[in-house]
């Protein structure tokens, strides 16, 4: 893992992404999908990003890559702030994305070699057709696809193989940084392990850096060096993978981790869950102050008044909660 | 007698492309108050198994052979009239997707009352009261007001709770839950699973839990059936399956999931891809992906063999293990015999034997002497 004093590869500073939502005639209200999120990813590291549906984890991934124009805040990649079109073009040859759904993220009218070759064409990475062809076959080989299948269409492949095609496409620009948006959640258990191992191997071989977005906490724990937890557009906790499982500090993280069913009957039955009341509030009218206070068993008046700072409690362990010290005595 | 007895159930879908054998010889029993988990990947036939039991298959699907007995009554071939009485009344089902299994054009109250009046002799007023009571039971706040609302006004977790309320309103003997929490977040999943456990304790129904999540079965189920490509691989208690799996597929599945201590290590995936149900292999359906596959696995489908208690598995590896154990035992016996013969053949062995005989005689004499003395 990278040292703390290095410059981070990806530095996200006070990132905000608001979507305007029509709430009346000529009236829009901002939906705060991502609200003031800051974190850093070191070179060669895997940062896991977890949270429930609607917490903004996918939006964070997409906004970092500037698939959405950030409302506010900035992304600094390898020391260079991403501001204008030229920066974005440069950034996109360094970073790519693997999407969740291997069924809808591949164009059904394109052959595998067209799909994998598209980023090469867009970024003019190969001078002639022969190089391009070679590159495509090399990529297919790398992700474990049979090169004879280059002229087939996506529908002829199973879910796991399609995800491999998607990964080959994202590797086509020789990226340093990949945003993996729930890359294994649509796959069967026996196939999941194949793809997770492949991510692992690619990282070892190519020195890749991952932002690994997922809701399956066992998968995230397996693959990540550090894990960040989001709730309603805010980051509530960030720490080393083992640290966050062994000593979660935020009440939401505690409850989230305790809710994961462990595939071991003795542990699963002995496990005491910390139940949460109710559902996630709508992000359109998020609670004032701490977004978690409506479901938090420890909520007090001051939680409604102000959003707690995202502060470092122990080395490398950040948490946003007013009552961290009292709760975790 | 078990509440539900399923024996050698075969269900096929007759499509234009040919016969798809979705369920191939599944058998299990279910007792009152028990929770049975059916685990498998997509396409393994776990949903089709319970749809066959309830006979709610798509038109192309037919039960080819087998028997389903509910409380001693045979359901296969029993006719639609009997089945109408069984569905909802004796067996209820919760479907996977709470977003699409409620009718968006009717209020929650309307749909609950419809289910209740259809299956019981309650009138509308009584049915309304029962519906409110059920909503309260599944922790829906302000149920009188909620009765008048439409499905879109509820969150995913609440809709799944309403589905549970609807399924349990007629006090069924068996609740079938077809991936009830797959579409939900983990904290909501924990709420729903806890609610199901609580209601099971209160109402004493049996639950059939269909899921691909091994964590969920570990938490809830007494007994587990593991399915692969329509066949039934293994069946046993949760402890049997998780701590002592006897089928190569189950073993592979358990190896391939990330566990708490697996960080930094490689997972051990099952190689290959799931098979095509249109062209089932002659032998064991898992053989093409199995690392331990032998010749017999490719040619002959294994039968269901008991491997201890209620634990059964369809895997030739158990026969191999048994044969190896028998062979080893026979070999050990022969070895002992040979050693004995070799010992006897040496002069030292002969002296040894004579010494032992003399010692025995002396001991007998001494004993007789002592007894005589006492008398």
Q: Do B42 and B163 reside in the same domain of the chain?
A: no
Residue B69 counted as domain residue? yes
**CA quadruple B343, B349, B353, B355: dihedral positive or negative?**
negative
CA distance A123 to chain B (A): 34
Spatial CB neighbours of A304, under 8 Å, sequence gap ≥ 6: A287, A288, A289, A290, A293
* pLDDT for res B49: 93
* Residue A222 touches partner B, C-beta closer than 8 Å: yes
Q: Do B272 and B193 reside in the same domain of the chain?
A: yes
Cβ–Cβ contacts within 10 Å for residue A289, how many?
A: 17
Mean pLDDT of A262-266: 88
* pLDDT for res B112: 93
Residue B99 counted as domain residue? no
Q: Do B335 and B233 reside in the same domain of the chain?
A: no
Task: With a cut of 90, say whether residue A77 has pLDDT above it.
Answer: yes
Q: Could you give the 3-state DSSP secondary structure of residue A308?
A: coil
* pLDDT for res A327: 84
Computed over every residue of chain B, the mean pLDDT equals: 88
Least CB–CB distance from A219: residue in B188, B218, B258: B258
Q: Do B146 and B160 reside in the same domain of the chain?
A: yes
Cβ–Cβ contacts within 10 Å for residue B59, how many?
A: 7
* pLDDT for res A12: 94
Q: Do B291 and B186 reside in the same domain of the chain?
A: yes
Residues A243-273: b if buried by 16+ CB within 10 A, e if exposed: bbbeebbbbbbbbbbbbbbbbbbebbeebeb
Asked if B258 and A256 come within 8 Å (Cβ–Cβ), the reply is: no
Asked if B259 and A158 come within 8 Å (Cβ–Cβ), the reply is: no
Task: With a cut of 80, say whether residue A292 has pLDDT above it.
Answer: yes
Residue B203 counted as domain residue? yes
- The pair of structure tokens assigned to A297 is 């068993």
Q: Could you give the 3-state DSSP secondary structure of residue B38?
A: strand
Task: With a cut of 70, say whether residue A3 has pLDDT above it.
Answer: no
Residue B96 counted as domain residue? no
Strands (E), chain B: 4-15, 18-30, 35-39, 61-70, 73-74, 91-94, 174-178, 206-211, 223-228, 231-237, 305-306, 312-313
Per-residue 3-state assignment (H helix, E strand, C coil) for A118-132: HHHHHCCCCCCHHHH
Q: Do B205 and B57 reside in the same domain of the chain?
A: yes
* Residue A271 touches partner B, C-beta closer than 8 Å: yes
Residue B303 counted as domain residue? yes
Among B112, B137, B168, which residue terminates a domain? B168
* pLDDT for res A1: 45
* Pick from A94, A98, A89, A60: nearest CA to A77: A94
Asked if A265 and B190 come within 8 Å (Cβ–Cβ), the reply is: no
Phi-psi region of B349 (alpha: psi -120 to 50; beta: other; left: phi over 0): alpha
Among B141, B168, B195, which residue terminates a domain? B168
- Phi, psi angle pair for A195, to nearest 5°: -70, -40
Asked if B269 and A190 come within 8 Å (Cβ–Cβ), the reply is: yes
Q: Do B109 and B229 reside in the same domain of the chain?
A: no
CA distance B251 to chain A (A): 11
Residues of B engaging A, defined by a Cβ cutoff of 8 Å:
41-42, 155, 157-158, 185-191, 193-194, 212-216, 218-219, 238-239, 242-243, 252-254, 256-260, 262-263, 266-271, 273-274
Whole-number Cα distances in Å, B215 to A47, A259, A261, B212, B345? 24, 11, 4, 9, 62
* Residue A279 touches partner B, C-beta closer than 8 Å: yes
Structurally, how many domains does chain B consist of? 3
* pLDDT for res B185: 82
CB B270 within 8 A of CB B256: yes
Q: Which residue of B has its CA nearest to A226?
A: B263
* pLDDT for res A2: 44
CB B190 within 8 A of CB B213: no
CA distance A22 to chain B (A): 18
Strand partners for B5:
B29, B69
* Residue A196 touches partner B, C-beta closer than 8 Å: yes
Q: Which of A175-184, B287-296, B358-367 has the highest mean pLDDT?
A: A175-184
Least CB–CB distance from A269: residue in B157, B187, B219: B219
* pLDDT for res B320: 86
Q: Do B27 and B162 reside in the same domain of the chain?
A: no
Query: Domain containing B339: what range?
Result: 318-374
Residue that is written with structure tokens 């259809």 in the block: B118
- The pair of structure tokens assigned to B329 is 């035992």
Least CB–CB distance from B215: residue in A52, A158, A260: A260
The pLDDT tens digits for B206-248 are: 999 999 889 899 999 999 999 998 888 999 999 999 999 999 9
CA distance B264 to chain A (A): 7
CA distance B194 to chain A (A): 9
How many interchain CB pairs under 8 A, A with B? 126
Among B117, B134, B168, which residue terminates a domain? B168
The interface predicted TM-score (ipTM) is 0.81
Check residues A102 and B34 and name the one with the higher pLDDT. B34
* CA A323 – CA A302 distance, rounded (Å): 10
* Residue A260 touches partner B, C-beta closer than 8 Å: yes
Least CB–CB distance from B269: residue in A197, A217, A276: A197
Q: Do B207 and B352 reside in the same domain of the chain?
A: no
What is the C-alpha R_g of chain B?
29
Check residues A269 and A176 and name the one with the higher pLDDT. A176
Q: Do B109 and B250 reside in the same domain of the chain?
A: no
* pLDDT for res B344: 77
Residue B254 counted as domain residue? yes
* pLDDT for res A119: 93
Q: Do B146 and B10 reside in the same domain of the chain?
A: no
Lowest mean pLDDT among A104-113, B104-113, B134-143: B134-143
Residue B95 counted as domain residue? no
B268 vs A contacts (CB less than 8 Å): 193
- Stated as kind and residue range, the H or E segment containing A35 is strand A27-41
Spatial CB neighbours of B238, under 8 Å, sequence gap ≥ 6: A265, B37, B217, B218, B221, B222, B223, B224
A158 vs B contacts (CB less than 8 Å): 273-274
CB A176 within 8 A of CB A45: no
The pLDDT tens digits for A131-170 are: 999 999 999 998 988 888 899 998 888 888 899 999 999 9
The pLDDT tens digits for B178-214 are: 988 887 788 888 888 888 898 899 888 999 999 988 9
**CATH no., domain A10-94+175-327:** 3.40.50.300
Residue B97 counted as domain residue? no
Q: Do B211 and B360 reside in the same domain of the chain?
A: no
The pLDDT tens digits for A205-261 are: 999 999 999 888 889 999 999 999 999 999 999 999 999 999 999 999 999 999 888
Q: Could you give the 3-state DSSP secondary structure of residue B21?
A: strand
Computed over every residue of chain A, the mean pLDDT equals: 89
- Best mutation site among A48, A265, A269, A271 for testing chain B: the one with the most B CBs within 10 Å? A265
* CA A220 – CA A49 distance, rounded (Å): 8
Asked if A264 and B256 come within 8 Å (Cβ–Cβ), the reply is: no
The pLDDT tens digits for B78-98 are: 888 999 889 888 999 998 877
- The pair of structure tokens assigned to A277 is 């009341």
* pLDDT for res B238: 92
Instruction: Assign A273 a pLDDT band (cuts: 50, 70, 90).
Output: confident
The pLDDT tens digits for B28-73 are: 999 999 999 999 888 888 999 999 999 999 889 999 999 999 999 9
CATH of the domain at B204: 3.40.50.300
């Amino acid at each position: 893992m990278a040292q703390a004093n290095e410059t981070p590869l990806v530095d996200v500073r006070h990132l905000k992404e608001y979507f305007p939502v029509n709430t009346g005639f000529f009236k829009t209200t901002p939906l705060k999908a991502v609200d003031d999120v800051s974190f850093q990813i070191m070179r060669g590291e895997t940062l896991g990003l977890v949270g429930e549906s609607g917490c903004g984890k996918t939006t964070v991934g997409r906004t970092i890559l500037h698939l959405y124009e950030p409302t506010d805040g900035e992304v600094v990649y390898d020391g260079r702030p991403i501001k204008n079109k030229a920066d974005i073009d440069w950034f996109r040859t360094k970073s790519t994305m693997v999407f969740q759904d291997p069924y809808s993220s591949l164009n059904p009218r394109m052959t595998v070699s067209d799909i994998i070759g598209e980023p090469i064409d867009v970024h003019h990475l190969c001078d002639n057709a022969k190089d391009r062809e070679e590159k495509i076959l090399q990529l297919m080989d790398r992700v474990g696809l049979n090169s004879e299948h280059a002229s087939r269409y996506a529908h002829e492949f199973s879910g796991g193989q399609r995800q491999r095609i998607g990964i080959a496409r994202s590797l086509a620009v020789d990226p340093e940084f990949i945003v993996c948006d729930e890359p294994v959640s649509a796959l069967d258990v026996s196939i999941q392990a194949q793809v997770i191992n492949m991510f692992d191997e690619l990282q070892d071989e190519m020195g890749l850096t991952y932002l690994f977005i997922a809701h399956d906490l066992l998968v995230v724990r397996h693959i990540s060096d550090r894990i960040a937890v989001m709730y309603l557009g805010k980051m509530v906790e960030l720490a080393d993978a083992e640290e966050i499982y062994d000593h979660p500090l935020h009440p939401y993280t505690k409850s989230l981790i305790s809710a994961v069913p462990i595939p071991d009957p003795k542990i699963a039955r002995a496990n005491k869950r910390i139940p949460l009341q109710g559902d996630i509030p709508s992000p359109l009218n998020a609670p004032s102050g701490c977004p978690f206070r409506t479901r938090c068993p420890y909520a007090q008046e001051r939680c409604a008044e102000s959003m707690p700072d995202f502060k470092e409690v122990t080395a490398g362990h950040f948490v946003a909660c007013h009552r961290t010290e009292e709760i975790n005595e | 007698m078990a509440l539900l007895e399923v024996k050698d159930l075969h269900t096929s879908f007759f499509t234009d492309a040919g016969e798809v054998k979705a369920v191939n010889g599944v058998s299990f029993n279910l007792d009152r108050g028990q929770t049975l988990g059916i685990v498998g990947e997509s396409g393994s036939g776990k949903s089709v198994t319970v749809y066959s039991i309830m006979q709610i298959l798509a038109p192309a699907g037919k039960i080819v052979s087998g028997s389903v007995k509910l409380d001693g009554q045979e359901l296969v071939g029993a006719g639609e009239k009997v089945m109408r009485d069984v569905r909802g009344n004796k067996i209820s089902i919760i479907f996977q997707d709470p977003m699409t299994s409620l009718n968006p054009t009717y209020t929650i109250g309307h749909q609950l009352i419809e289910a209740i009046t259809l299956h019981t002799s309650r009138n509308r007023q009584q049915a309304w009261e029962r519906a409110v009571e059920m909503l309260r039971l599944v922790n829906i706040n302000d149920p009188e007001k909620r009765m008048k609302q439409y499905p879109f006004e509820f969150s995913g977790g609440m809709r799944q709770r309403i589905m549970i309320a609807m399924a349990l309103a007629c006090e069924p003997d068996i609740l079938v839950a077809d991936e009830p929490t797959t579409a939900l977040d983990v904290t909501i999943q924990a709420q729903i699973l806890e609610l199901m456990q609580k209601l099971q304790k209160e109402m004493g129904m049996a639950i059939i839990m269909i899921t691909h999540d091994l964590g969920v079965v570990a938490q809830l189920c007494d007994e587990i059936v593991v399915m692969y490509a329509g066949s039934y691989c293994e069946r046993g208690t949760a402890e049997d399956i998780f701590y002592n799996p006897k089928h190569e597929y189950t073993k592979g599945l358990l190896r391939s999931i990330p566990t708490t201590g697996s960080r930094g290590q490689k997972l051990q995936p099952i190689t290959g891809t799931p098979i095509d149900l249109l062209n089932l292999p002659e032998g064991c359906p898992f053989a093409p992906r199995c690392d331990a596959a032998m010749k017999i696995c490719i040619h002959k489908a294994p039968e269901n063999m008991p491997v201890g208690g209620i634990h059964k598995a369809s895997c030739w590896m158990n026969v191999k293990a048994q044969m190896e154990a028998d062979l080893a035992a026979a070999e050990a016996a022969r070895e002992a015999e040979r050693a004995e013969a070799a010992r006897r053949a040496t002069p030292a062995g002969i002296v040894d034997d004579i010494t032992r005989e003399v010692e025995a005689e002396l001991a007998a004499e001494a004993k007789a002497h002592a007894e005589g003395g006492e008398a």
